[in-house]
Amino acid sequence: MLQLIIDWLRLRLIYRHYWQYNPQRKLHLLLSAVIILCLTTLFLNLGTFPVFAATLKEIQQRGYIIVAVKDNLPPLGFKDESGKLQGLEIELAQRLAQDLLNKPEAEKLVELVKFKPVTNLQRLKAVESGEVDMAIAKVTATASRERIVNFSIPYYFDGGVIATKDTSIQKLKDLQNSKIAVLKNSSTIASLKYYLPKAELVGVESYTEAQKLIEKNQVTALAADITSLSNWIKQNPQYRLLTTKISTQPLSVVMPKGLQYDELRRRVSQLIANYIEKGWLKERIKYWNLP
């Protein structure tokens, strides 16, 4: 604040001097003063100047990568009983760190990757602002998002599925005239209306509410995304997933937009393609009980 006052006084002195001897510059100086004060106030409020994301070369020179992840979304990213981060996306981040930094045999993975847990709203912002080098946090690659960030090739195809404990339900068409619970405002709703137009959709606030409705025979099944339902079924083994997906959502690594980050994007995509080809990703997906 002191610096702001000093800047203002300096500008006032300059303004008076030029106004006294050169009145034609009044408007120019006034506008300049306003612009400088606005910029000074902005940076004082932010407490820092803009931060730019690191390029691949800068990451390698630094010696570690910073990754935004989920810490409450099993089996993709979550904390175990000891507080340690686990999950498919956590393992992918660690593997990418080893290969991007050319340290495939590194034992202390904690030194190669620093995790930053984020909410859904923070995922893209963390990448845009340069807080993290990339985000591996259940982000679906979409055309609208691609205008502001870069995406790798998909490492997993999430999507909508249906869970039921009714053994007579084997295919989607068996639910044609049934009641199906679905989370309110879920993206799964549109897919359900398309594939099962005659089904009655019942909005619920949580999986627990849906389960109560199923137990009371008020609905026949529950529809949600694969990653969430897979973990829920592990805790409720009397339920099973129908094999047909009602939607497909490619999950990709998010990276900064810009020509200087193209090398990072290409390298990450190449590595993921290699993990798919060599079977490593398939093995880890199976380990985490994802379909």
Report the share of the chain in percent with pLDDT over 90: 64
Token pair recorded at residue 37: 């004060």
Is pLDDT of 130 > 90?
yes
- Cα separation, 135 vs 126, whole angstroms: 8
Q: Which residues contact 253 (CB under 8 A, 6 or more apart)?
A: 92, 96, 134, 135, 136, 151, 152, 155, 268, 272
Instruction: Decide: 19 and 26 in contact? Cβ < 8 Å.
Output: yes
**Which among 272, 276, 226, 252 is positioned nearest to 73, based on CA atoms?**
226
Three-class secondary structure of residue 49 per DSSP: coil
In this structure, the number of other CB atoms found within 10 A of the CB of residue 136 comes to 29
Residue labelled with tokens 């897919």 = 191
As a dihedral over the C-alpha atoms of residue 260, residue 263, residue 269, residue 270, rounded to 10 degrees, the angle is 180
Q: What pLDDT does 40 receive?
A: 47
Peptide bond into 256 cis (omega under 30): no
- Cα separation, 291 vs 286, whole angstroms: 7
Q: Which residues contact 53 (CB under 8 A, 6 or more apart)?
A: 127, 130, 132, 133, 255, 256, 261
Q: Going by DSSP bridges, is the β-strand pair 221-225/240-241 parallel, antiparallel, or unpaired? A: unpaired
pLDDT tens readout for residues 99-117: 999 987 766 777 899 999 9
pLDDT tens readout for residues 6-47: 555 555 555 555 545 455 555 554 555 445 555 444 444 444
pLDDT tens readout for residues 138-158: 999 988 899 999 999 999 999
Three-class secondary structure of residue 248 per DSSP: coil
Mean pLDDT, residues 236-253: 92
Q: What pLDDT does 257 receive?
A: 96
As a dihedral over the C-alpha atoms of residue 251, residue 252, residue 254, residue 259, rounded to 10 degrees, the angle is -150
